[in-house]
Structure 1
């Protein structure tokens, strides 16, 4: 049995038929937090023009890859288990990698290309709830076929969080830190 099933707020979050009394908002499970571009990207979001690639001179941003000056970035996923459940919350940050690793990843996407072996990187977005002046080091490992690489955090406190998971209240705090405080919506049925 999922221990969080005892929490009415958890049941409301996962009930697609639940409607918030505040504004009619409904949910159907965990809300993952993604980023449109690395924080250093100065040219606006990809989605504004509807194009698959946003180009500004030599700089390029696609949904999965980014080149900004001499820097290279891969879009990744960062899983964090939710304690008391079988669910996993995902950040979808950008990770700065060495140019050789960036091109090795691209080569792995071609049919018959070499497998992506993974690489070291630095999280390139400020993660709500885990803001730090120091860069967050990670190891990228291959995701499943057709999936983004998975970031395994190397520095605490996020590394410990990724291992131990977060409580449901911590997750709600994280959503609030990201600008979407859903706690009032889930408080009353």
Structure 2
């Protein structure tokens, strides 16, 4: 039960061959000046042991991105303190943009996507992350994503 964005909203396909640009399934660099990691915003589903996840991109400072990259394959990396970042994925199922929401990126064990914790604001996404959602709400999100075509994040391909 997750959906994922393939790239940060600021990525343009023409960047693929440009110097200083890189897009992998986990990290992105644009013109050697903007740095992003992919993580999961997890939303508890009320009355269930499952979570709904958004695969999103978060911008990090150069220093934080360097540290994340340095530890990427290192066991024990989950002991790192969270990194501050800005959400750079707009999830259009919300009336108010999700771009530039403040986040903390929590590194997890090698092979697991980072956990993205939203600043506790009154934005509907942040409220859902804190309070959880019903299974019906998950169905509403799934329906909205599936019927919106390429204007929203694509269904995940099972990646974590």
Shorter chain as normaliser: what TM range? 0.7 to 0.9
Aligned to 1:106, what secondary structure does the other structure show?
A: helix
- Structure 2 residue corresponding to 1:156, chosen from 119, 122, 126: 122
What whole-Å deviation, never above 9, does each CA across 1:39-81 have from its counterpart, x for those lacking one?
Answer: 1110179xxxxxxxx5422111011110012110001011001
Match of 2:158 in 1: none
Match of 2:45 in 1: 82
Match of 2:23 in 1: 61
Larger Cα-atom Rg: 1
Higher strand proportion: 2
Contact 1:96 1:122 in 2 (8 A): yes
Residues 107 and 178 (structure 1), Cα distance of their counterparts in 2 relative to 1, 3 Å cut: same
Separation in 1, partners of 2:75, 2:52: 32
Q: Which has the higher contact order (CA 8 A, sep 6+)?
A: 2
Contact 1:105 1:116 in 2 (8 A): no
Match of 2:91 in 1: 127
2:101 equivalent to 1:136: yes
Separation in 1, partners of 2:23, 2:53: 21
Separation in 2, partners of 1:103, 1:116: 13
Q: TM-score, normalised by structure 2?
A: 0.78
How many residues align? The count is 143
2:4 equivalent to 1:39: no
Separation in 1, partners of 2:103, 2:74: 27
Aligned to 2:35, what secondary structure does the other structure show?
A: strand
Task: Give structure 2 stretches of 5+ with no counterpart.
Answer: 149-160
Cα RMSD for the two superposed structures: 2.4
Q: Single out whichever of 83-92 and 109-118 deviates more from structure 2.
A: 109-118
Q: CA deviation at 1:177?
A: 2.4
Q: CA deviation at 1:150?
A: 0.5
Contact 2:38 2:58 in 1 (8 A): yes
Q: TM-score, normalised by structure 1?
A: 0.67
